[in-house]
């Protein structure tokens, strides 16, 4: 039987994650590697290599392995390294914030959240005499709970790396759609992002400590006349 083509992953964590899940699925099904290979129409060697985390099979082969072990293959997108500000169109929002800041704040863009191999970056970090604020820029609040969770994890990694507490500000364009998303999640926002936007702006402009977490509404700059 010819060995189906596999792709070698450039990310060891991807191979390790699939290896763990495949071993667990096969154990639950009570199958040996040979039995699973026969059911999936692959070689036992392929399964051995996959369970050792040395390869990541193609999506087709992963689906066949999952089905043979009585499981469903589910694909989801998770935040990893993140998209850089200048590539995502968020830089305009970041620049609007920077333009309004007091000179008491030191601005850093795309700051590493944690230590290697963590490759996530905080969009904007503001360092002032009274503390540090992590600013995550979101163009649209499409899944506020997921976006907030990702921002909180980056904030926590940054706080651990620099050894002090860090405030969290979610900066978003002040649009009707984003406002509606916040209203939909009013209870969540009130619990974890209680600081009003007006107060955050006042602190950023004056250099006073922000002193909490909140959503910062950023208005789009007026277009210059043609």
Q: Where are the domains of the chain?
A: 6-68, 85-218
Pick the CATH number of 6-68 from 3.40.50.11890, 1.10.3720.10, 1.10.260.40, 1.10.443.10: 1.10.260.40
Cα–Cα distance between 193 and 34 in angstroms, integer? 53
Tens of pLDDT along the chain (226 residues)? Answer: 444 444 444 455 678 888 989 998 998 889 999 999 999 999 999 999 999 999 889 899 999 999 999 998 887 655 555 556 655 568 889 999 999 999 999 999 999 999 888 888 999 999 998 899 999 999 899 889 889 999 999 999 999 999 999 999 999 999 999 999 999 999 989 999 999 999 999 999 999 999 999 999 999 755 544 4
C-beta separation of 139 from 90 below 8 A = yes
Cβ neighbours of 92 (radius 10 Å): 14
Pairing of strands 106-112, 121-128: antiparallel
Cβ neighbours of 43 (radius 10 Å): 17
Cα–Cα distance between 48 and 37 in angstroms, integer? 10
104-108: long-range pairs with CB below 8 Å, 24+: 104/128, 104/129, 104/206, 104/207, 105/204, 105/207
**Do 85-218 and 6-68 have the same topology in CATH?**
no
Pick the CATH number of 85-218 from 3.40.1350, 1.10.357, 1.20.120, 1.10.10: 3.40.1350
Q: Rounded to two decimals, what is the model's pTM?
A: 0.64
Residue 19 DSSP label: H
């Amino acid at each position: 039987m010819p060995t189906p083509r596999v792709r070698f992953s450039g990310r060891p964590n991807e191979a390790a994650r699939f290896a763990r899940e495949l071993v667990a699925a096969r154990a639950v099904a009570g199958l040996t590697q040979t039995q699973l290979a026969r059911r999936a129409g692959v070689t036992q060697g392929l399964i051995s290599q996959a369970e050792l985390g040395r390869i990541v099979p193609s999506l087709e082969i992963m689906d066949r392995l999952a089905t043979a072990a009585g499981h469903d293959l589910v694909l989801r997108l998770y935040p990893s390294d993140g998209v850089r500000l200048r590539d995502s169109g968020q830089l305009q929002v970041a620049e609007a914030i920077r333009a309004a800041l007091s000179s008491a704040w030191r601005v850093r863009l795309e700051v590493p959240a944690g230590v290697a191999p963590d490759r996530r970056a905080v969009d904007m970090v503001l360092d002032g005499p009274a503390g540090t604020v992590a600013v995550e820029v979101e163009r649209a609040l499409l899944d506020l709970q997921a976006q907030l969770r990702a921002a909180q994890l980056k904030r926590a990694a940054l706080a651990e790396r620099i050894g002090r507490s860090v405030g969290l500000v979610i900066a978003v364009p002040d649009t009707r759609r984003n406002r509606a998303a916040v209203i939909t999640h009013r209870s969540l926002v009130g619990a974890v992002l209680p600081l009003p936007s007006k107060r955050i702006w006042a602190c950023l402009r004056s250099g006073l400590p922000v002193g909490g977490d909140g959503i910062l509404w950023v208005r789009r700059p007026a277009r210059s006349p043609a």
